[in-house]
Structure 1
Amino acid sequence: MISHTRLPKLRLGSAIALALATVPSLALAQQDQADSTAHTLKNVTVTADKRPEDIQKVPMSISVVDPEKLAAYGASGDTLVQLAGRSPSLQVESSYGRTFPRFYIRGLGNTDYDANASQPVSLVFDDIVQENPLLKGFPMFDLDQVEVLRGPQGTMFGRNSPAGVVKFDSAKPTEETEGYAKVSYGTFGTANVEGAISGKLGNNGWTGRASFLVQHRDHWIDNAYTGKHDALGGYNDRALRLQAMYTGEDFDALLSAHVRDYDGSAAIFRPNAVQQGTPALVPGFDIDRVASDGRNTESVTSWGASAKLNWYRDGLTFTSITGLERVRAFSLGDVDGGYLASAGAPVWAMPSSALTSFSQTADEIPQHRQITQELRVANDAEARLRWQTGLYYFYENIDINNFNYDHTGTTRTAAVRQHQATSAAAVFGSLAYRFTDRFDVRAGLRYSHEDKDYTVQRFYGYTGALGPIDVDQGDAHWSGDLTGTFTLTDRVSVYGRFANGFRAPSVQGRLTGKNNISTAKAETINSLEFGVKSTGLDGRLRFNADVYGFVMHDQQVTAVAATSNATDLVNIDRTDGYGAEFDLEFSPNANWAFTLGGSYNETEIKDPDLAVAACSNCTVLDPRNANRRALIDGNSLPRAAKYIGAFTARYSLPVGDTGEVFAYTDWNYRSKLNQYLYNSVEYNSKAVLLGGLRVGYNWDLGKQEVALYARNLTDRRVIIATSSFISRAAMVNDPRIIGVEYSLHF
């Protein structure tokens, strides 16, 4: 239920005044600033309210990543993890390599690495929620844009969206025949080939679009244990999307199908990589070498289909959205990253990777099925009173196998089977009423109910066979939002938004290293946000900013075991958060374009009695209870960077009548963050600044282009994840990738 819990005390008045002070002055905005080279920014349309709407008219904190930014990442084979820091308050990480991305908004996320882990950030691809973390890793290609909706989205998107939504929209079929092809090649044999073709399918109202992606990287990491050069780090990633769209007088339909086939290296663990007493990598760290006695392999196959149908009758729109998603996966990794010293060490092996214990683990999804169905009806979007209401159904059935292996990664020593069936249903509605030309109100409400049946059994390993253990969970919640918007001028508006959301109960039953399962009850959040949206300089400047505060009760978090590859779910009694965010776009003339975004996010755990196991090979800064567990009251949340910033700049110079030379650079910054619930010196990752550059020439009115690119331009080594239970192991980012790309648009 929507509660009236008091939000953290914020100096909201001062913050709003500061935000308003940075808005372009109204006098300046209404002066004639135009010159012969000036041009206006493109209008940005979003569907945060499940209706197409100008981003400046949506009273919510939203950022959009446009196709040019996405193209800059894609040439080097970047994954969704590269969205980290590209939008205020957004972080993304993975301990699975190129799969299983974990999203964080305003410091709220989930570090759980089990294959049935839920997240408080929902990912929606072409109106279909991607619930399982392996589904969320579908590669980025042929996209129209990516929307980041910050704050609870409990009305329109429902369960498991208390932190926000990341929404992907693919490019749609077109009437005119068009398409593109891109080919790039870079360092380490990094190759990217993608393309699309779109046009009419006869003369009967049907259009279609086919798009594909092929990505490859050679193995580039030497295994010093086996003596094999270029043994790890490579991958092959292939994806295909097919769409067919029918447009009639009072009916339209969009049918879509997609498939992904990935094989390559799982995450590469670097043992003893974090220096004792510091959060830095050890001196002499070599990104090109590991010394592993185990196996490393990963494969993911996912496929799905959807149908979006719209009927138009008497000023009403009836919509049906049906989705099917399936995924199969297997990931085997040398989690300790080194070799077992007692088993003997080859001459070429590095002594620093010798370990007294080992961990070789694998996760498998042999069976998975997700079905979703949404039905809704909405009136005319231009009406004074706008409304929509609908029903939603979600069903997921998944099997998960967890395995332990001997130190060589060839003989299984433990086997666990998890099965989970989840069904959820909801009814929702929203209203928007324009009282005057300057003031309108929006309100929404959703009732959700969920049932979860869970079974886990260990067949052998650890202390022997165990189970089956059954857990049945059920819960129901109300969520909603209330927003008021006041238009100061045609170019400046302010809004206030209260929103409520929840994440459904969860189960953790990874029994390869423990004898008990853990459960977490539903988490709930109340959030308050005040913002300003503005344009100026004759449409060449767009500036949006907001301040927010939230209180979350019973937040679900993952406590990582100190001595084994196991985790436990726990609920935090209360979590407070507050901060500020802004997005700025500026195009002073036809040659230059800039974007700048940033956020300040503060989170605090408020639970005096909550204690978690802490690492035994690091410097723990928290007080301990009688059982030597770390008391985490007052800590910030894991991976909740206080500061995030993103900057892009593009310069272009016309060449002849149809050509252009251009340079594009993008940079993102995040401040230091904690890897775990407890505070320690070693696992408090340092601040990082990463950048990219793209320089090229296009001709024939942009139809052809050749460009040189560089990702991780300064070749920074960044710890993106760690493993603390055997050694101070780290996973690091990709090294600098330099390459060339050619593209053709027709």
Structure 2
Amino acid sequence: MKKAALALSIQAALLASLSFNANAQENAQEQDDAKLEKITVTALKRTQSIQDVPVSIATMSGERFENTFSSGDDILSLAARVPGLYAESSNGRVAPRFYMRGLGNSDFDLAASQPVSIIMDDVVMENVVLKSFPLFDIDQVEVIRGPQGSLFGRNTTAGIIKFTSRKPTSDFDAYVKAGMGSFGLVNLEGAVGGQIAEDLNARLSVLDQSKDDWIDNAFTGEKDALGGHDESAFRIQLAYNPTEDLDILFNYHDRSLEGTSSVMRANILTTGSNELNANYDRDKVFYDDGDNNPQEYDQDGWSLNVNYDLGAYMLTSITAMENADGRSKGDIDGGYICAEGQMNSFCTADNRNGPGFIPFGAITEDRLNDLEQFTQEIRIASNGNDQLTWQTGLFYFDSSFGVESVDGFYGATEVFHENTTWAVFGQSTYAVNDDLTIIGGLRYTYDEKSISVGKQNEDGFAVVIGAASIQEYAPIDVDDGQWSWEAMANYTIDNNMSVYARLSNGFRAQSIQGRDVAFEGYPSVAEAETIMSYEAGFKTDLLDNTLRLNGAVFHYVIDDIQLTAVGGNGNNVGLTNAGKGVGTGFEIDSEYRVNENLTVTAGFSFNDTELQDKNLLISTCGSGACTPTDPLNDDGAAYVDGNPFPNAPKTIFTATARYSMPIADEGELFIYSDYSHQGDTNLFIYETEEYKTDGQFELGLRIGYVHYDLDLEVAIFGRNITDEDNLKAGIDFNNNTGIVNEPMSWGIEVKKNFF
């Protein structure tokens, strides 16, 4: 409570500056530099003002984006930084899991599908590893809430996160950014762009980042054994404009990561409590296996975006290829079991395992082998601002990869996944009059998936001793064709305010899960889920364009909602469908330019989600160490009817404030703070006393100096500056294992721009 009070006090101190500027507001509004900047988005695959798009959208860019990632954090840092958006992972810096308006997927397998789609530079990143490409030289992030089934297709039932990199221009520009911080953080980033030949522009963006290992393995006595990472990436873009009618953009990107997968901590929750206990030590783990949880991945890809102006129409083609492979290994039980005859400071006659009770050891290595994803989109759109505008197109997707699971007892097993999708879509906009616009979109998608088993229990000790045998698995093929659509209406009340209504329908394609094959189980299949969403909202600029206030209310119903039952006695991963899932809530985003020196933002979301299926049973913790609060059947499985969706924060509150003080005419001192608060969150499908969180928050701070003439910024940054210990994920099959957030970190960063 003291830390929470401190965090709120710091934020309140910044916000309190509002009162000192009330008398000067009228004069400040008369100056352009005291007004909010116009934000453009591409949520409807056209460049439009965010205030004109009848969809709930939040954006992140500039200082807010850079400060969020200043300490070397990965894409998971977006969690709870935008109302309605959450993210977590049990797979380190790869395989992030996103949730929007409460809807997501807790499946940790490398073949998992998700209802939040990640779009990077107009290319869908379908596999969970592709979604983790590092973020650098980013122009803008768009968080587009709600189903996006007509323009973007299946697996967008919750929404979309679009990342747009800075593009090449004919004007020379460059920047270099260098940061150093806690735990040996070194963060180097830069870009250079401009014209390199007639009609040819280029931009090269690079990232090189490292962080030292800082967590001790107390069981082996290794100091600084895990927790760090080394990551490098680059992106090169070539923009060719041979005529006024033709634009060609080529994008090649590459990434290499070596580091630590998720840090599992055994028994950091006491049975009957969700408070971190004395077994928890942020700087220490007790691993007897897992090689200190290593992780390494390589990823590369390219895209070719061609726009050809045909006069009345614009023809667009986007061709892309993505590749990835790598591995993660982990001591899943998070603790140790002393071998027969082993004696050390932990292994004594009275202490055979720890911390806490570990019934059996568990070590797993997951490998993504030879991922290849090819996508092709072709669309044609009307040009101009006629009363009726439209766009229509075709989309093709093909993906193949292997997922290899290596278990310390069963050995190595590999399953192969293939997925092919094609779609035809269209959307039109009709301006009824100067005030009323209606939009309609329709899409047909055909999706086909297959899974087959390759090697099975290779070199497995279980097979040698007869505890397991080679099984027969026939290939599984599933396919489905679905229509999805949306209808929107936007009404302009005046130049500064509009209201909208939106009906949207979408679906998440059928899924196949094959991880249980590694443990002599069978693949599971979930049928396609469909969503019907109802949304109404408003968008307004007030006080002479110094206050922006956007809000939306929503209600959605999902039929045959796909769920992933994770855990149980064998840490199995099984897909199932519940009868219905229902979500109701609202979100509001605001930005207030108090004067030219002070800007504050605030956002809030409320999500009330509920599973509706009176007959659905989910296995509870296999360890027996947790305390289910749901009704149980005779076999100990939980009836989950009425439960909230897993990892669906009921509330999210965000706030930022930036205050600057001019220094003569050549620069300014500034202080920037960001705060995020996460409300009630249930980590699993079933409810327990242990695996639920409430009131988790983080506070960031940035203090610096900007020299205008030199285009130079020097800043001190801090992330999680109150050093909150927040439970982010759990593993329930062996003991009460938990995964926590990153610790407090401080650093200094220098950025120099060149023009």
Q: Are 1:450 and 2:447 an aligned pair?
A: yes
Q: Deviations over 1:193-241 (max 9, x none)?
A: 0000010012x21100000111111110011111011111111011100
AA aligned opposite 1:365: L
Q: Deviations over 1:348-392 (max 9, x none)?
A: 578425623011001111211000000000012412101000000
* Count of matched residue pairs: 710
Q: 1:217 is matched with which residue: 206, 211, 214?
A: 211
Question: 1:74: how far off?
Answer: 2.3
Question: 1:696: how far off?
Answer: 0.4
Q: Which residue of 1 aligns with 2:200?
A: 206
Is the Cα–Cα contact under 8 Å of residues 457 and 467 in structure 1 kept in the other structure? Answer: no
AA aligned opposite 1:399: G
Question: 1:31: how far off?
Answer: 8.8
Q: Deviations over 1:153-192 (max 9, x none)?
A: 0011101001000000000012111111111111110110
Distance 2:354 2:343 in 1: 8
SS of corresponding position for 2:87: strand
Q: What aligned pairs does 1:171-190 form with structure 2 within 5 A after superposition?
A: 171-190=166-185
Is the Cα–Cα contact under 8 Å of residues 340 and 354 in structure 1 kept in the other structure? Answer: no
Q: Are 1:586 and 2:592 an aligned pair?
A: yes
Q: 1:478 is matched with which residue: 483, 491, 494?
A: 483
Q: Which residue of 2 aligns with 1:577?
A: 583
Q: Which residue of 1 aligns with 2:363?
A: 360
Q: 1:505 is matched with which residue: 501, 504, 510?
A: 510
Is the Cα–Cα contact under 8 Å of residues 279 and 356 in structure 2 kept in the other structure? Answer: no
SS of corresponding position for 1:488: strand
Q: 2:749 is matched with which residue: 718, 741, 744?
A: 741
Pick closer, same or farther for the CA change 1:701–1:543 going to 2, 3 Å: farther
Q: Which moved more, 1:714-723 or 1:31-40?
A: 31-40
Q: Are 1:92 and 2:87 an aligned pair?
A: yes
Q: Which residue of 2 aligns with 1:631?
A: 639
Question: 1:555: how far off?
Answer: 0.8
Is the Cα–Cα contact under 8 Å of residues 172 and 209 in structure 1 kept in the other structure? Answer: yes
Pick closer, same or farther for the CA change 1:701–1:211 going to 2, 3 Å: same
Is the Cα–Cα contact under 8 Å of residues 265 and 280 in structure 2 kept in the other structure? Answer: no
Distance 1:686 1:564 in 2: 29
Q: Are 1:680 and 2:683 an aligned pair?
A: no
Q: Are 1:377 and 2:401 an aligned pair?
A: no
Q: What aligned pairs does 1:288-303 form with structure 2 within 5 A after superposition?
A: 288-294=283-289, 295=291, 296-303=293-300
Q: What aligned pairs does 1:51-66 form with structure 2 within 5 A after superposition?
A: 51-66=46-61
SS of corresponding position for 2:258: strand
Q: Are 1:613 and 2:608 an aligned pair?
A: no
AA aligned opposite 1:476: G
SS of corresponding position for 2:127: coil
AA aligned opposite 1:588: V
Distance 1:33 1:695 in 2: 24
Is the Cα–Cα contact under 8 Å of residues 670 and 689 in structure 1 kept in the other structure? Answer: yes
Distance 1:165 1:586 in 2: 26
Q: Are 1:487 and 2:502 an aligned pair?
A: no
Q: Which residue of 1 aligns with 2:224?
A: 230
Question: 1:701: how far off?
Answer: 3.9
SS of corresponding position for 2:66: helix
Is the Cα–Cα contact under 8 Å of residues 416 and 454 in structure 2 kept in the other structure? Answer: no
Q: 1:71 is matched with which residue: 66, 90, 97?
A: 66
Distance 2:281 2:602 in 1: 34
Is the Cα–Cα contact under 8 Å of residues 457 and 468 in structure 1 kept in the other structure? Answer: no
SS of corresponding position for 1:512: helix
Q: What aligned pairs does 1:3-42 form with structure 2 within 5 A after superposition?
A: 34-35=29-30, 39-42=34-37
Question: 1:415: how far off?
Answer: 1.6
Distance 1:437 1:114 in 2: 50
Pick closer, same or farther for the CA change 1:311–1:492 going to 2, 3 Å: same
Question: 1:34: how far off?
Answer: 2.5
Q: Which residue of 2 aligns with 1:26?
A: none
SS of corresponding position for 2:355: helix
Q: 1:432 is matched with which residue: 411, 429, 432?
A: 429
Structure 1, unmatched stretches of 5+, are 1-29, 407-412
Q: Which residue of 1 aligns with 2:38?
A: 43
Distance 2:654 2:157 in 1: 24
Q: What aligned pairs does 1:146-185 form with structure 2 within 5 A after superposition?
A: 146-185=141-180
Q: Which residue of 1 aligns with 2:668?
A: 660
Q: Are 1:721 and 2:715 an aligned pair?
A: no
Q: Deviations over 1:69-113 (max 9, x none)?
A: 111022210111110111111001111111111100001000001
Question: 1:284: how far off?
Answer: 6.0
SS of corresponding position for 1:111: coil
SS of corresponding position for 2:594: coil
Q: Deviations over 1:531-585 (max 9, x none)?
A: 0000011111111001000000111111013112221001011011110111101
Structure 2, unmatched stretches of 5+, are 1-24, 348-352, 463-467
SS of corresponding position for 1:70: helix
Q: Which residue of 1 aligns with 2:107?
A: 112
Distance 2:148 2:509 in 1: 14
AA aligned opposite 1:299: E
Is the Cα–Cα contact under 8 Å of residues 29 and 595 in structure 2 kept in the other structure? Answer: no
Q: Deviations over 1:634-680 (max 9, x none)?
A: 00000111101110000111112121100111011111211110010
Q: Which residue of 1 aligns with 2:17?
A: none
Is the Cα–Cα contact under 8 Å of residues 342 and 356 in structure 1 kept in the other structure? Answer: no
Q: 2:531 is matched with which residue: 487, 508, 525?
A: 525
SS of corresponding position for 2:263: coil
Distance 2:598 2:417 in 1: 52
Is the Cα–Cα contact under 8 Å of residues 536 and 542 in structure 1 kept in the other structure? Answer: yes
Q: Which residue of 2 aligns with 1:388?
A: 391
AA aligned opposite 1:605: L
Is the Cα–Cα contact under 8 Å of residues 706 and 740 in structure 1 kept in the other structure? Answer: yes
CA RMSD across the alignment: 1.5
AA aligned opposite 1:235: H
Question: 1:340: how far off?
Answer: 1.4
SS of corresponding position for 1:166: strand
Q: Which residue of 1 aligns with 2:19?
A: none
Question: 1:125: how far off?
Answer: 0.2
Q: Which residue of 1 aligns with 2:329?
A: 332
Distance 1:144 1:701 in 2: 23
Distance 1:284 1:397 in 2: 42
Question: 1:684: how far off?
Answer: 1.0
AA aligned opposite 1:320: S
Is the Cα–Cα contact under 8 Å of residues 226 and 346 in structure 1 kept in the other structure? Answer: no
Q: Are 1:710 and 2:714 an aligned pair?
A: no
Q: Which residue of 2 aligns with 1:20?
A: none
Pick closer, same or farther for the CA change 1:475–1:145 going to 2, 3 Å: same
Q: Which residue of 2 aligns with 1:323?
A: 320
Taking structure 1 as the reference length, the TM-score comes to 0.93
Is the Cα–Cα contact under 8 Å of residues 478 and 510 in structure 2 kept in the other structure? Answer: yes
Pick closer, same or farther for the CA change 1:381–1:164 going to 2, 3 Å: farther
Question: 1:625: how far off?
Answer: 1.9
Q: Which moved more, 1:374-383 or 1:56-65?
A: 374-383
Q: Which residue of 2 aligns with 1:397?
A: 400
Q: Deviations over 1:232-280 (max 9, x none)?
A: 1111011100000022311001100000000011111100111221111
Q: Which moved more, 1:365-374 or 1:380-389?
A: 380-389
Question: 1:330: how far off?
Answer: 0.6
Distance 2:502 2:428 in 1: 14
Q: Are 1:568 and 2:574 an aligned pair?
A: yes
Q: Which residue of 2 aligns with 1:552?
A: 558
Distance 1:610 1:75 in 2: 44
Distance 1:212 1:474 in 2: 41
Is the Cα–Cα contact under 8 Å of residues 232 and 255 in structure 2 kept in the other structure? Answer: yes
Question: 1:32: how far off?
Answer: 8.4
AA aligned opposite 2:473: P
Distance 2:161 2:173 in 1: 28
SS of corresponding position for 1:588: strand
Question: 1:717: how far off?
Answer: 0.5
Q: Report sequence identity in percent.
A: 39
Q: Which residue of 1 aligns with 2:6?
A: none
Q: Which moved more, 1:557-566 or 1:262-271?
A: 557-566
Distance 1:84 1:395 in 2: 29
Pick closer, same or farther for the CA change 1:292–1:703 going to 2, 3 Å: same
